[in-house]
Chains A and B, each alone.
Chain A
Amino acid sequence: MLLIHCPYCGEKREEEEFTYDNEAGIVRPTDPEDLTDEEWGDYVFGRQNLCGPIYESWVHTAGCRKFLIVKRDNSNNKIDKTMTVQEASADKNYQEFNSTANSNIKKTNK
């Protein structure tokens, strides 16, 4: 059972209250029409699926119902920290992770 600290509610709650969403930082392309099939396929289906420390987004479904960003080592389930989406957008490490998550999309999102 993961214990996740909700940055909005300010409390550590059990995993069952939350719903896993996706790898963090997958941004919908601003101009989907300009994408090639490969790029669109990669946006829709492609995942890093890394082993080790990752950022992922969860929803506090049975709580505040807000999206949060969790930094978790998925090889041992240790949660390093949780952030609000606003905090995450100011976090440098998160930005770096984000840029590789969307490596194929970013090219077209100039």
Chain B
Amino acid sequence: MRYSFFNLLKQSFNGHKSWEPAWKEAKLKPHYDVIIIGGGGHGLATAYYLAKELKIRNVAVLEKGYIGGGNTGRNTTIIRSNYLRDESAKLYNHAVDLWQDLTRELNFNVMYSSRGVYNLGHSLQDMRNIERRVGANILNGIDSEVVLPDELKRRIPIMNTSSKTRYPILGASYQKKGGVARHDAVAWGFARAASKLGVDIVQNCEVTGMQVQQGQIKGLQTSKGEVQADKVGIVVAGHSSVLAAMAGIRLPVISRPLQAFVSEPLKPILNTVVMSSQVHGYISQSNKGDLVIGGGVDGYTGYSQRGSPHTLEHTVQAMIELFPFISRVRMNRQWAGIVDILPDACPIVGKTPVKNLYINCGWGTGGFKATPGAGHVFAHTIANDEPHKLNSALTLDRFISGALVDEQGASGVAQH
């Protein structure tokens, strides 16, 4: 059922009793053309674009828990594309382009709000890097500009732009098209749109093994039985190494806990996104009014969704440095998700040594922003058995050839 004013009116006469579920609860069939492992934003987007653009409709998305229940449903929802390297910036910008019209495309309000993103600089070297990155962005057609402290003070009055602080703000890069979106709505929107096109979304279905014969993927063992597949895509973020190991592949990925927290709801006070990689923190205010705050990854690898309090403390220090008023704000909840980090802070979207097995991983701390773009190019990669031109450099092979795409500088706050 299409979501429209007309349908809303029609349902209201009926007391809103005949809305259909947003997506069908599917039973696992014995065979699929393509199986996507992982029902997060990227996985659901991949399934959607496979069905929509590449007309491959016999697709299943297998999710261990419930869809959007992992990092997709628990992240700081920042969207931007002001990355340094051509190879990655163009992919992130492809995503930003898709975000613009995603609500209409999915017929589901993903609440994309282009409220702008500021990346602060606190030292001369920071400012040199910012100017270089902004220059590179402009050459790649990405909206990006340098903002100086006087202007910053005018735009974000609540921020401490005094020159007397420990790390005074010397300027920032600004991307106007950057912003936030409603993370749950992104998962639900893609799920609903994919399900409508015939994609099976199977929840509570954990993949426990892979059948690989003569270097080719044949099928999967799952907690709901065996299933055959012509092609399989792994889109599982933090657990990428675990899944890849089932097919005998060793990845250059390490998994780390990344923490974030939200405050009690406040009146509107911050109408943009502020990030600082120098003092290590980022902040925005959600539509509900809570401040959404994140920081760096924890110091060790692991899969426990916990994280250590001293990492949290460090983030809070950074935030109080930038926004002194939050020292009196109570924090509502804190959590940690497992992020998959690659040595060059750039993802892998492409083929694996096993034929017909594809992987999308290594987005580290910033995969949410790329959701539609990554899904789009990954769907093309799976359907055509070769990368889309936007992800052709983001191969697994680059860790053999040495052609790394070094995004350590622009990947933001967390990924150090």
Contacts and interface: CB of A to CB of B under 8 A. Distances in A.
A66 B413 CA distance: 29
Contact of B255 (A38, A49, A56): A49
A74 B304 contact: yes
Contacts of A46: 250-252, 399
A20 B309 contact: no
A1 B308 contact: yes
Given A20-B300, A41-B399, A49-B301, A1 B309 contact: yes
A79 to B, nearest CB: 11
A58 to B, nearest CB: 8
Contact of A1 (B239, B303, B310): B310
Given A1-B309, A2-B308, A20-B301, A49 B400 contact: no
B251 A47 contact: yes
A57 to B, nearest CB: 11
B265 interface: no
Contact of A15 (B251, B308, B399): B308
Contacts of A64: none
A47 B309 contact: no
A77 B250 contact: no
B371 to A, nearest CB: 23
A50 interface: yes
Interface in A55-110: 56, 72, 74-77, 104
A25 B335 CA distance: 31
A104 B56 CA distance: 38
B343 interface: yes
B297 to A, nearest CB: 11
B252 A47 contact: yes
Interface of A is mostly: mixed
Interface residues of A, number: 28
B402 to A, nearest CB: 8
B302 interface: yes
A56 B308 contact: no
A19 B299 contact: yes
B239 A51 contact: yes
Interface in B352-392: none
Contacts of A74: 300-304
A77 B302 contact: yes
A37 interface: yes
Interface in B381-414: 399-402
A15 B304 CA distance: 16
9 contacts: A1-B308, A15-B310, A19-B299, A41-B401, A49-B255, A50-B245, A51-B242, A74-B300, A75-B304
- What are the 5 tightest A-B residue pairs by CB atom distance, in nearest-first order? A74-B302, A45-B252, A49-B241, A41-B400, A20-B300
Given A2-B300, A41-B399, A49-B241, 8 more contacts: A1-B309, A16-B310, A20-B300, A37-B400, A40-B400, A47-B250, A50-B245, A74-B303
Interface of A: 1-2, 14-16, 19-20, 23, 37-38, 40-42, 44-51, 56, 72, 74-77, 104
